[in-house]
Amino acid sequence: MDSIINIDNLNAEISDNIPSEYLPVKTNYNECNWDIVSGYFIGFAYNIELTKYSKEAFESDCKEVFLTKQISEKHFAVIRKAFFEKENYLKLSPTNLLLHTQNDETIHPKINSASKKVALSLLTLLGFDDLKASSKDSDHFISEIITSTLKRKLKAKNYSDHALTYLPFLQQKLVHDFKFIASKPSYMMENIASLLSIYSFLYTSQIALNLKEWRVGLPQNKPLFFVLETEKVSAERTKVINSGWKSFAAASGNLFPMLSTLQLIQAKNSRKPIWQIFEELTELDQTQQQLCIDTFDSYCERFIIARNLKKDFIKSRDLDSAFEQLFDLAFAQFDKSFADPLTTRYQANEKVVSAMREHTAKGFVKSKGRIGSILVLTQDHLLLLTNVIIGDKKQLRFNDLIEELKLRGIFFDETSEERLIEFYERIGNVERMSDSGDDLYVRQTV
């Protein structure tokens, strides 16, 4: 049982809520920079790190290497203007993005920290795939010298001890999409930040929608409806209105209470999602299950007292009811109806929900007047997703493309599907065999 839950944590004195690895935001500062997120993510994906290496030191090292290659000071001044003055060296190779992670006077340390938090949450979605950086980074010797100078500063670091993914279905898709984009370094440099911002929202929204279904087992993609950013939306489109932004906004309140509780109960050296912990505990014999129930009950009884909650402790009948009470109390501490009126602890979850709306969902939500807010995809987002989904296949049936979008947590109603076809036809990357979606093929544009 010790390999499944943390008995010591549950028996210890009740303490503050623990930040979760699965959550891309914190309760304080969450303004992130997607270039920095990309830098950290590249490091995590390729098991490399860059530490204490300023951009000034990098330029100095590059200059030294160029001078040893019989490049004069005068010629280096030209190289400096072309590559260093406007930081074009950052665009030469995916590994060069790691330079964004280095703190200096121009980067607010809080932004760096918030960006790393986002990248760490995406790391749990990567899994343990053996990803390798492209060996072909550049097409000319100047770029090669700059890139190879940085590579000498990179160190190997194993990130395989991170938490297991909460969403295996989405992990499979991220790995597929990342591998494709990584196979085309130039395209990757242009789009990695956008791809990660998309997946950060999809990942967070799908966890939020799946969290309360820990009894069911393996999470499934939940309907979350988007429209194209340029679409007009009427009140009759109930799926878009009720199963889009409203669904995420309601479910986002699940994240902090449940994931911080997960951090409390998970085993020391085996970090797993709630659904998997529950599944493994139900496979224990009755004696061990009862010990687990008693441990949860003891914690809940002390938690009510420590938090001064307006809740009665109820002795659990089984594992299911023990889990139910544990998470019910996790929510109660952030609910004014039950929380201690002498503290402002309940505001912590409000801060997380607000951060989700202001940062994680930024770029995917749009106000439509009386209809309220809805989820949107820009044309750039749609084209990027289309290209990575089609990948090396070059083209894909429209209906199959729609199914692949659903598997990533992106759903469209019939009206939006018609607008999608119009969009693809407008940019000229479709081949229509007939008027049906079965005979409409969408081509990749990379």
Residue 310, both tokens: 């307006």
Per-residue pLDDT reduced to its tens digit, 306-315? 999 999 999 9
Q: Which residues contact 60 (CB under 8 A, 6 or more apart)?
A: none
Decide if 81 is inside a domain: yes
Distance CA 58, CA 45 (A): 23
Decide if 318 is inside a domain: no
Residue 228's DSSP bridge partners are 377
Higher-pLDDT residue of 349 and 106 is 349
Strands 430-432 and 395-397: unpaired
DSSP secondary-structure letter at 128?
Answer: T
Distance CA 267, CA 8 (A): 9
Phi, psi for residue 225 in degrees, rounded to 5: -90, 135
3-state secondary structure of 251: helix
197, 178 contact by CB (below 8 A): no
**Cα angle 413-198-217, degrees, rounded to a multiple of 5:** 75
Say yes or no to pLDDT of 362 above 80.
yes
- The domain of 123 spans 34-162
Distance CA 42, CA 36 (A): 10
Annotate 235-267 with b (16+ C-beta within 10 A) or e (fewer). eebebbbebbbbbbbebbbbbbbbbbbbbbbbb
Task: Judge residue 301's burial from the number of C-beta atoms within 10 Å of its C-beta, 0-12 exposed, 13-18 middle, 19 or more buried.
Answer: middle
Per-residue pLDDT reduced to its tens digit, 204-263? 999 999 999 999 999 999 999 999 999 999 999 999 999 999 999 999 999 999 999 999
The total number of structural domains that make up the chain: 1
Distance CA 445, CA 387 (A): 6
DSSP secondary-structure letter at 227?
Answer: E
Say yes or no to pLDDT of 290 above 60.
yes
For residue 437, what pLDDT band results from cuts at 50, 70 and 90?
low
Start-to-end Cα distance in the chain: 50
Decide if 104 is inside a domain: yes
For residue 446, what pLDDT band results from cuts at 50, 70 and 90?
confident
Decide if 400 is inside a domain: no
222, 417 contact by CB (below 8 A): no
Per-residue pLDDT reduced to its tens digit, 128-161? 666 776 665 566 889 999 999 999 999 999 887 7
Decide if 315 is inside a domain: no
245, 373 contact by CB (below 8 A): yes
Residue owning tokens 């699965």: 22
Distance CA 223, CA 81 (A): 50
Q: What is the DSSP string of 318-372?
A: SHHHHHHHHHHHHHHTT-TTTS-TT--TTHHHHHHHHHIIIIITTTSEEE-GGG-
Distance CA 353, CA 339 (A): 18
Decide if 71 is inside a domain: yes
Distance CA 405, CA 170 (A): 11
> Could you give the residue ranges of the DSSP H alpha helices within 211-317?
238-240, 246-251, 255-265, 274-282, 286-307
Residue 442's DSSP bridge partners are 396, 430
Decide if 210 is inside a domain: no
Look at residues 315, 281, 265 and name the one whose alpha carbon lies nearest to residue 17.
Answer: 265
251, 224 contact by CB (below 8 A): no
Q: Return the pLDDT at 138.
A: 61
Model pTM?
0.94
Decide if 243 is inside a domain: no
Say yes or no to pLDDT of 190 above 70.
yes
Q: What average pLDDT is seen over the chain? A: 92
Which conformational region is residue 311 in: left (phi greater than 0), alpha (psi within -120 to 50 degrees), or beta?
Answer: beta
